[in-house]
Structure 1
Amino acid sequence: MAIHIKRDMTLEVRAPLKMPKTEIDRFVMSKRGWIERHLAEMEQRARNKAEFSVNYNDTVSLQGREYPVTAREGNRAGFDGQRFFLPPGLSPDEIKRVIVQVYKSIAKRILTNKVMDYSKQMGVMPTAVKVNSAKTRWGSCSAKNSINFSWRLVMADDDVINYVVVHELAHIREHNHSERFWKVVASVLPDYKGRQKKLKEFQLKLAGEDWD
């Protein structure tokens, strides 16, 4: 048997079709502590997301590091290697929207460069590299070998970013998750399982941030 908590915080129990309900109930009760702990964590993330905002002098993540958000006279917004800068006088919602546009520009450059570097190493070449606004699907590779990444990925550190890049490039060789696919990934990143764990931790962190 297995228990799964859905995004709407309802409980799903998977059990053999003919298993008695009393046995299923006992199983659920035995997992009560785990269920309550995970529901509390989900509630906290939901509260964090509802309260999430970005203002001047806050910090935001880029490649695993925190950088300040600063006001700079003029109409331009960007990132100068030390800080995110944007025009003064913006509301928190406007600040967030402008920073997302800066992130998208940075993501296109960083991810394209990483794809080019790893493509040479792996002997593959995508037909295109695109950036989208996916919330939880960090990357994808189409049947025509066009690779898409979520701009949110560049908030993670390079261990995570590089793993997702290599993962998608490996799909050019193997459009599946077979043993052969994972051998391709491991040939480039032998520690990919540790990176997968870091990706899950990063995903949990972002679950408490509302960038939409």
Structure 2
Amino acid sequence: MSAAAVELREIILGGQRIAYTLRRGARKTLGLRIDHRGLTVGVPLRVGLREAEAFIRSHADWVVEKLQARPSAPPAAAFEPVEGASIPFLGEAWQLRLGRGNNRVLWHEQGPDKVLELALRGGADARQLLLRGLQQRSLELFTHRVEEFCLRLGRPTPAVGLSNARTRWGSCSSRSGIRLHWRLVHLPLGLIDYVVAHEVAHLVEMNHSPRFWAVVESLYPDHLAARKALRQAAAHLPSI
């Protein structure tokens, strides 16, 4: 099977946006498979997208039920902010250093090693200080990226805030603006930009219609590959 025979797509079932893999191959029938990677739809080579999605919708109840019944991944072990621990920031490993100070987070980017120093006042909580430092940097970065993508669309920049949602990386509302999950800051900038582009596109289309995806495509042409990479990377983020 050629690489062109595999597509990453999305469909709305029961009011939910569901990602799926569409595989065209030398087969005679259409089939559905659900495993730890999600939904895969196998179709003959000549079957078009409209027919494939009609087939998925005809099994919508089964698909939604099976996806919801999948066992959830075990929670990641809590990250321990100890001397020498490694933590990802923008896709690169930073080494933690614990020192004394007035509860500040210091970012040392010079030299061969990237060091994140927690300058702790006596008795201070290292985890809380680390969390505060990461969230501060994430808000600064996310605001800058939202401004950049809004500029490309010729739209005013909305309010930008952080979220800690359990199931979504971002949200966009005409009332509260754009909110992005602070843990995205662990990921490479390219994946952060994909999420930002997705939410900024909602400023034009508050839905997931073909028009919406056309806006996403204009902002981030490789969004299908980025969505797949984001799902894979999410399983390896530290839990702070």
Q: TM-score, normalised by structure 1?
A: 0.72
Q: 2:119 aligns with which of 82, 87, 110?
A: 87
Q: In the alignment, is residue 106 of structure 1 matched against residue 106 of structure 2?
A: no
Aligned partners of 2:135 and 2:182 also within 8 Å? yes
Q: 1:71 aligns with which of 95, 98, 107?
A: 98
Aligned partners of 1:129 and 1:148 also within 8 Å? yes
Q: 2:204 aligns with which of 173, 197, 204?
A: 173
Which residue of structure 1 lines up, in the alignment, with residue 17 of structure 2? Answer: none
Distance (whole Å) between structure 1 residues aligned to residue 166 and residue 128 of structure 2: 15
Q: 1:164 aligns with which of 192, 195, 208?
A: 195
Q: 2:175 aligns with which of 144, 149, 153?
A: 144
Larger helix share, 1 or 2: 1
Change (3 A) 1:15 1:198: closer
Distance (whole Å) between structure 2 residues aligned to residue 136 and residue 53 of structure 1: 24
Change (3 A) 1:147 1:3: same
Give the letter for the 1:72 counterpart.
G
SS at match of 1:85: strand
Q: In the alignment, is residue 190 of structure 1 matched against residue 221 of structure 2?
A: yes
Q: 1:58 aligns with which of 75, 82, 85?
A: 85
Which residue of structure 1 lines up, in the alignment, with residue 156 of structure 2? Answer: 125
Which residue of structure 2 lines up, in the alignment, with residue 210 of structure 1? Answer: 239
Distance (whole Å) between structure 1 residues aligned to residue 80 and residue 140 of structure 2: 26
Q: 1:97 aligns with which of 128, 143, 150?
A: 128
Larger strand share, 1 or 2: 2
Identify unmatched segments of 5+ residues in structure 1: 6-13, 17-27, 29-34
Which residue of structure 1 lines up, in the alignment, with residue 58 of structure 2? Answer: none
Deviation at 1:127, TM superposition (A): 2.6
Most deviating of 116-125 and 162-171: 116-125
Deviation at 1:210, TM superposition (A): 2.8
Q: Which has the higher contact order (CA 8 A, sep 6+)?
A: 1
Alignment deviations for residues 91-146 of structure 1 (CA, whole Å, 9 cap, x no partner): 8x932221110011001110011111111112122430111222442110013360
Aligned partners of 1:126 and 1:147 also within 8 Å? no
Aligned partners of 2:204 and 2:212 also within 8 Å? yes
Distance (whole Å) between structure 2 residues aligned to residue 185 and residue 198 of structure 1: 16
Deviation at 1:15, TM superposition (A): 4.2
Q: TM-score, normalised by structure 2?
A: 0.64
Aligned-pair identity (%): 27
Deviation at 1:86, TM superposition (A): 0.9
Alignment deviations for residues 2-60 of structure 1 (CA, whole Å, 9 cap, x no partner): 6578xxxxxxxx649xxxxxxxxxxx9xxxxxx9xx86x93xx44xx246423111011
SS at match of 2:207: coil
Distance (whole Å) between structure 2 residues aligned to residue 191 and residue 131 of structure 1: 25
Distance (whole Å) between structure 1 residues aligned to residue 200 and residue 130 of structure 2: 28
